Structure 1
Amino acid sequence: MSTQTDFVIDIGNRTKVPIISPATSPSLSVKENPFFIRGALPSSSQTKAIAAIVRNYDWRQVVIIYEDSSYGTGIVPHLTDALLEINTLVSYRSVISLSANDDEILKELYNLNTKQTRVFIVHLQPYLASRLFLKAKEAGMMSSGYAWIITDVLTSLLDSVDHSVIESSMQGVLGIRPYIPRSNELNNYTRRWRKRFRQEYPDMDPVELNVYGLWAYDSITALTKAIAKVGTTIIPKFKKADTTENLTDLDALGTSEFGSLLLDSMRNTTPKTALSGEFRIIDGELQLYTYEIVNIIGKGERSVGFWTEKDGISQKLKMNSKTDKSMNEQLAAIIWPGESIIVPRGWEIPTSGKKLRVGVPVKGGLEQFIKVEIDAKTQAVTATGFIPDVFKEVIQSLPYAIPYEFIPFPIDSPTSQDYDDLVYKISSKEYDAVVGDVTILASRAKYVDFTLPFSESGISAVVSVRNDDRKNAWIFLKPLKSELWITTGGFFIFIGFVVWVLEHRVNKEFRGPKHKQVGMIFWFSFSTLVFAHSKSLTQSKLYTKSFRIYHCFSTNHIYGWLFQERG
């Protein structure tokens, strides 16, 4: 197709006749061919939209599958550059020959399946793409964990793909295509198209309009308006070559005097009404507008979002600046291959069918840490509890998938197997890892590597809670026994009584009513207990006229009383 387009463009350049073409190959340059007008979007214009999808799911490596033709290879450098801008690498480029048979396609898919990358961008025309997806289904590459993105050359022509291929082999694929807004003009034209098609081809299945057909219609509309703008009074003329000697058939065509005038009008035109939406040609190039992202489900596709160069990915078109960005930054829910709703990780370590063999101890005890169950019918082993949950979270956090299986290992069985035997299974290469409550010991560390401990083991004592005596206001009574406190109190009262007997006759402080004298006895004893150890007898003013009373008091014992007659 590209070769034919090059030939026609060359004729236009020689004869100075504008050539408007739906060619999408990026190798066809409008700048190098002044009479070439592109009436379709080049395939390179979708690369930023594809890169936005890859970035939205944080995939770091992709594989590009494209056909071995100028059309297929033309998109590769543009797509690679767009992916590099988001720090995503093209880990592998798979070229499919146009003449490849099914065995060759299947062999290439098996080769791709041995690599780590699980994100594939397919740039193939419908016939070759249909065979690819049939073989991908056969190779088990349309299951959970894989992600497939198809370019607009296939997404826009899905109606030409056999529905049985779509239903059996393309479920969960993401596609991108130019967005065609619904309008009354489009609906009316579609009805007329279907009616005319049924009349002229009653025995054929109806063919729906696609974006390329709408672009062709809009191109003709742009051409008629350009002719009307130049004027109908100008009669098209061709200037013949001066001589016909030694000229080829193309050189003998001459040049058009009307073409240059028509070219200026066609290179910059904007039809007021266009079936395909915003059909704007500027400097001979159809301008980029919105791309629609679809998810292939059932017999057709479901729209899950849009992409524009201004706003990037959005679930709904942002018609104005007031659109809530927080509710419009992600795509709608997507059904991935294998009917999975989990976003593919994009990576997987190729294991050639092998799984990580993980030994788990089967024993009684605290099932909250680890509990191993074996299904009686299927013999499937499941491990639950805190320790297996930690292991599963570690596996899930890796940027690639690691298949694994639990292998039960009985502990304290009649064969007297213990944890040492379980650990030695790793050194003997019977197990690849062990998950369980295995204590880190120096003898075991000689044979295996342990992870850092994430839980502590040990023995703890559980006792009832008692009241804190330090908060008791009577704690000062603790140093002495109750009998000693009673004896001490009795001696204080006795001494107070003795002092009263000796003083009440000569000291007026010890006289008065009986209740006053009894109170004085207790007050003298109390004041001596409280103040005598911190103040001198003179400072406390609690002394008698006949005796000086000295008080010796310590924390644990009262040594006695000393009486000295006043001199």
Structure 2
Amino acid sequence: MWAWCGWLVAVHAVAAVSPVIKIGAILTDEARGGSTELAFKYAVYRINKERSVLPDSTLVYAIQYIPAGDSFRSYKKACHEIKSGAVALFSSGGPTLSRSLNALCRSLNIIHLSSSADTASQEDNDPDSFTVNLYPARQVMDRAFADLTAYLNWTRMGVIYEDYGYGELNIANIAKDGRDMYCVRASHEYRRALTLLKAQGVTHIIVDTDPKKLRQLARAILQLQMNNENYHYIFTSFDMELFDLEDFYYNRVNMSGWRLVDRDSDKVKDTLLVMEKFHPIGASILTGGHIKTEPALLYDAIQVLAMALAASKEVGPTNASCDDETIWSNGKDIMENINKIHAHGLTGPIQFQNGVRTNFSLQLMRLVGGEKGGTVVSGHWNPGDGLTITDPAAYKRDPPPNVTLTIVTVEEKPYVMVKEGWNLQGNARFEGFCIDLLARVAAQAGFAYRLRLVPDNMYGARDPDTGQWNGIVRELVDRKADIAVASMTINYAREAVIDFTKPFMNLGIGILFKVPTSQPTRLFSFLNPLAIEIWLYVLAAYILVSFTLFVMARFSPYEWSSSTHVCGHETKLLTNQFSVCNSLWFITGTFLRQGSGLNPKATSTRIVGGIWWFFTLIILSSYTANLAAFLTVERTVLPIQSAADLAAQNSVQYGTLNGGSTMTFFRDSNIDIYQKMWQHMSTTSPPALVSSYEEGVRRVLQGNYAFLMESTMLDHRVQRDCNLTQIGGLLDSKGYGIATWKGSPWRDRISLAILELQEKGVIQILYDKWWKNTGDVCNRDGKDSKANPLGVQNIGGVFVTLLCGLALAIVVAILEFCWHTKKNASHGRQSLCSEMGQELRTAMRGGSS
């Protein structure tokens, strides 16, 4: 793993090295049992096992733990290790811990190896320092960030930091060239810090905070919607590649950072593979198969010390002490050897000057989104050559000028149509709404184009079994085309693998159905204004009222009249005008609004007549009003009214376009009705899915088939064929957009062009041109209304009123009978019962003398 220069290959002084060499480590409490401690132990294990660097010596270690930021306790722990014979101290826990050990080790000539950014030791570059820091020097890192921001042309930026002077950057060094910089401290309140930067209109931000708090920062970015293509974040941590950035894969936000451990190097991969197999701690050192920067630095620090010890002429036990300030005699010799090292470790090339690392290589990482999102290498930087960008297009938002793009489409009326009967070539072969729109967008965005049809004539659907796409989507994913212009619906699945512009048209899913044939006129159509049950009730009422009138007339004394005939003697006869026939005739005449020549005399019979007149008034008025509607309005009855009706029946077949977004909508829907409809469409025989819209419309016209299609195409068909109609409302809401491959620089330009065309009304003009002003629009007669038969719920109250009137007439007739009987009984001096009996007999016989 280590590549040595020629002067260090021959190590001849190892015989003078002590057989047991003790080293010490001062770590923070939170590092206990973590990957940093385990990497330290593993590095010692590898040195002792391989014996290639220290063949005759064994390293032994002791680890001390202190609270973070406790300088006093770190001093005491370090003195304890030095007194016990440690020839070197390792630290990893931030600049506070590193600085507390710098002065101590310098005064005692004890080697101190650090893996933290320590500004004091690095910036002083003291030739008498005994501190070796494998972390890149801070002033050198400032140059790296300055070069990157200059390349990105960041003249105005923000910096989010936790504690000034304790991060990876020296803000003053970056800002000294006069650029506009806003620095916001955010110990825990990332939302407040981002809000302040957003209020200032800052979109370029350097994040110089603890990587452990990334989750809080990511949540604040999403909450404030600072995650679009206008924002660019640069992380100072070397472990950006290991961050969980999945929330930002699909919103085109820019994120960049440096990487110190070249995880793509074969030597690094081999070392980590061996490390991972080391049981039981190997897997715990790594994160997802990769090692973090801090453990890697500490691992390299052990290797650096081992090499320096091997190159030393003599390494004896330490006799240094904090009490009497006795220095270690071999410390200066080992420090000189460390400054001569040229090697290559997990963190790349290693070289020191006065303990400061001067040679290293950084890889520039950039976040890419999409289904296989993650970080990719876009360049590299080193102190000698500076910044080199290997993917210039990665940070360029503007597309190249004077370019001819390949555009694919699908033939579909009225969006894209191939001209027939014309000997045309190239783009001139096509016409339609999308063709006109494309010409105007190209003029706005500034590109030429070559137009062709997609080979399989499919818009693009993902196969759930293989995960492969077809149609237009496949062409864009494979970069065989630059742009797709068609009636292509924007949905989640497609947006995950390709990009869409702003929608140029909004629509939904509708149901296309054939207009039912009008019902033929029947001989007895005059009966249609009233439901059959109403006619039956009217007949029953006719019989009931006739019978009631007859009984009431016989029962009431006032309906009887007397006459005298002389045929040898006088005879007094009682007669009643309401016989059975006369009662039926009276009811019939009044029902038909004609006279009958009969007039009730008794109050009870007049009540019956009056109630019947009221009843006939309502019935005849309702009949007359509804009769006009039934005789003048053409009645069409649709067997289905909505998608729920389709799902609940099996007589009418229904389907949609195979491989389109409508099919995907039903296939992936979680709504029960739509799931049931998809089950029917995908399993019915003959197949319900069609290969083109033309086939779907043809099946609708053949009858007994409903076609689920997008509302804009449905509207176009309905306006041109009077035999077609739309059923119900829209099932969803979505839009058509122009598609590009993921990350295409043309997306934003085309979106702006579409917005401008919409604001100027150009797109509406094109819609009217291809939908309404083509000259083949169907002229409908407008007879779409329908009159419904009147049911019991409409005029049932008339029958209630009739029954109440009949009951009242009966009560009055009884009262009349009783009153008349009592009157006759008083005059004839008979009992009331005998008189009633006589009157009943007279009523039943039909007369009396």
**TM-score, reference length from structure 2:** 0.34
| Bigger proportion of residues as helix | 2
TM-score by length of 1: 0.49
